[in-house]
Structure 1
């Protein structure tokens, strides 16, 4: 499939440059075919997202529709776990794309298309558990735990969530207080504590959960694969939390009182939980950044389209210099953010996960933080230009009104903005010092 041509009329800022006929070094024919397949499928599935958000729930069939089309798999971080997927009988994705051909830009396209409605709730309702809860399982769990659960998770037969955050420990992961103690018989971990703001936690059957198996600080943390559904009413209680935006994402409060978890459900090694969590955060933050950038695009493009036809003071709003200035300022931020994301995806594709986690952890944190700031500017610009229509939950401005309410849903989860900006710089300085020390050591060995 050939890319769009420059002669195709497109609302300014409504699509990434590669879909507006502009040349790009990143995308090939496979990417354009994948983008077309994603858009056709996702647009059909998400046709009624605004009404879903209003009601607070998505159709019960939505998750299974994605599962049947193997469209849960692209929600996994790049690179895909090829071996485990094939063992589960999954060899290709929508449109015949072979899983071994799936690269960083196929993942980018999927994330971008999933948020094309401008609403984060419906996509989050089906992909958050896949994106965040499953990777630690196939990366660190024992072969027996993987064989027992991964096939069902990949095929959408089992639902999951990531349970890290607590009422008093959000970005401060090292101070998690949920405790997991070994039973006297040694066959179980007895888990007691609370988890809060857990996306998909309302309906998830299992949780990848951060628990304290040792002393204070990061060295005492571990990850457990905790059965939720089978423990409900047996020490586990959960209730729904309604947040500013993304009401369909199934955010929950989990209260655990001496919940029994088989010791075989330990993910990896005791005391290594902090490392596993931080490695998992890189993909989570990048995923959020991709979606937030597309949401910003939806808001800004909606504003451009509106001011081109809306007349005030005897002429279209687009002829007002102050309006063009607002749009230009946001456009600069938006396209710079998108170019940064493309750059990081390219670097991940070349470096691979291990080197990518090491070299790009700080950058990824900053990319995610900046995505929230860009979204905030674009959403506020759109609402201001829509005027009174941007304040209403129905009619012409309902999408931008909803997007503005979702801004904080981007800026807080996955690490609060200020924390991530600080983390990004600290990581870059750490890399610099480490490489400087290595270089000095090499020089010293030659003396």
Structure 2
């Protein structure tokens, strides 16, 4: 809006002006069309990767040494790769979400944003040399594969097994990765009156393998410890996917974000080279948790923009739509709904900006410790406010907002994406609980430190 801000420098404004026309031309102008078609054309990923427009999906700071080895010194607008920070990241994610739809942009960025960082942060030099050149330049694609039918937000309960071969050269991997609601413990039929209630409690078990259907690799959580070993038995492997023996994949139909390529992956005695282990056996849970912080911040930023698109579209609509002889905007109840949702939205965006700025100013270890739980809360609240804004939009659009065509088509599409914001990446209820538990730990640790200091 051109209002003063303490967060953005000339570098950030220049970056925004440089990337907006590219994103508009290559993505936003076609987003609704591609979501209707339920897929984005292959050439779009190539266009973004050739322009180095997937790199800003990585967490700041970028892997500068690797990028310069690959001949990549600048992003659009002349931004040097070593100068990229979390405010540039926020701007990029926000611009990519300006269509109001997650699917088209997610089809390009999700695997890149979440599948590659663990390899950069924890992979040894040999593994990085084999896979990073092709992944960072977009010649090959990677996804993140954590969730399972019976272990959605309960990551420590993952059952996909990776057992070392007798020769020690391979991990033999068996299991499934999918987006799924498990009712395995429930024998109620589809017409049973309590089925919906039970289903609502099963929702936290949902997960997603986005982009899997197009990916050459998956950064995959597997159990290398014995069954029942919990978090200490988890590891991360780079598992080959497309065309690899023992791997089968198919797309899953979901309510929203249809074009993002949500995928079911089945692994049947898949031989993965032992050198594809990321980091150290048994450290997978730690690696996953550090990756979650980036994922949840990305989700919060994009979802907050989606909420803004829903509300802005509605604002425009009620200015021109007439009922009872006057524009809807002249009805006090309409203004009340807009004000209520708008106040929540603006407070959320202020927190998102503050959060990105804190990430920029804090050392990584301090941010992981101090902001881990708060990142979950930021993501959870973004989903709740998105729900409020999308519901307001559908209600004020009336019948048009309930129709998959015409004036309310975008609002109807956005409304279907609300569960995809509130469940994947850690379901809302799980993250609310996580945030408080983390705050309790921090409180207790700091209280002990103060008491010890007082005794001295």
- TM interval, short-chain normalised: over 0.9
Structure 2 segments unaligned to the other structure (5+ residues): 180-208
1:275 paired to 2:286: yes
Structure 1 CA distance for aligned equivalents of residues 98 and 56 of structure 2: 16
User: Offset at 1:230?
Assistant: 4.1
When normalised by structure 2's length, the TM-score is 0.92
1:67 paired to 2:49: yes
Aligned to 1:266: 277
Aligned to 2:448: 437
1:122 paired to 2:104: yes
Deviation per CA, 1:401-437: give whole Å up to 9, x if none: 0000000011000000000000001111111111222
User: Where does 1:93-104 land on structure 2 (aligned, <5 Å)?
Assistant: 93-104=75-86
Structure 1 segments unaligned to the other structure (5+ residues): 1-19
Aligned to 1:17: none
1:347 paired to 2:347: no
**Displacement over 4 Å in runs of 4+:** none
Q: Which moved more, 1:97-106 or 1:272-281?
A: 97-106
User: Offset at 1:226?
Assistant: 0.5
Aligned to 1:42: 23
Secondary structure of the corresponding residue to residue 209 of structure 1? strand
Deviation per CA, 1:60-96: give whole Å up to 9, x if none: 1000100111000000012212222222221110121
Among residues 230, 233, 249, which one is paired with 1:217 in the alignment? 230
Secondary structure of the corresponding residue to residue 220 of structure 2? strand
Aligned to 1:24: 5
Number of residue equivalences: 424
Structure 2 CA distance for aligned equivalents of residues 200 and 67 of structure 1: 15
When normalised by structure 1's length, the TM-score is 0.93
Given that 1:224 and 1:267 are in contact with CA atoms closer than 8 Å, whether structure 2 keeps it comes out as yes
Deviation per CA, 1:239-261: give whole Å up to 9, x if none: 11011111111111111011000
User: Where does 1:16-415 land on structure 2 (aligned, <5 Å)?
Assistant: 20-46=1-27, 47-197=29-179, 198-215=209-226, 216-231=229-244, 234-415=245-426
Among residues 409, 412, 436, which one is paired with 1:425 in the alignment? 436
Given that 2:160 and 2:173 are in contact with CA atoms closer than 8 Å, whether structure 1 keeps it comes out as yes
Q: CA RMSD in A?
A: 0.9
Structure 1 CA distance for aligned equivalents of residues 14 and 250 of structure 2: 42
User: Offset at 1:104?
Assistant: 1.1
User: Offset at 1:396?
Assistant: 1.1
Secondary structure of the corresponding residue to residue 74 of structure 2? coil
Secondary structure of the corresponding residue to residue 408 of structure 1? helix
Structure 2 CA distance for aligned equivalents of residues 396 and 363 of structure 1: 38
Deviation per CA, 1:336-363: give whole Å up to 9, x if none: 0000001111110000322111110011
Secondary structure of the corresponding residue to residue 108 of structure 2? helix
Structure 2 CA distance for aligned equivalents of residues 80 and 431 of structure 1: 29
Given that 2:239 and 2:272 are in contact with CA atoms closer than 8 Å, whether structure 1 keeps it comes out as yes
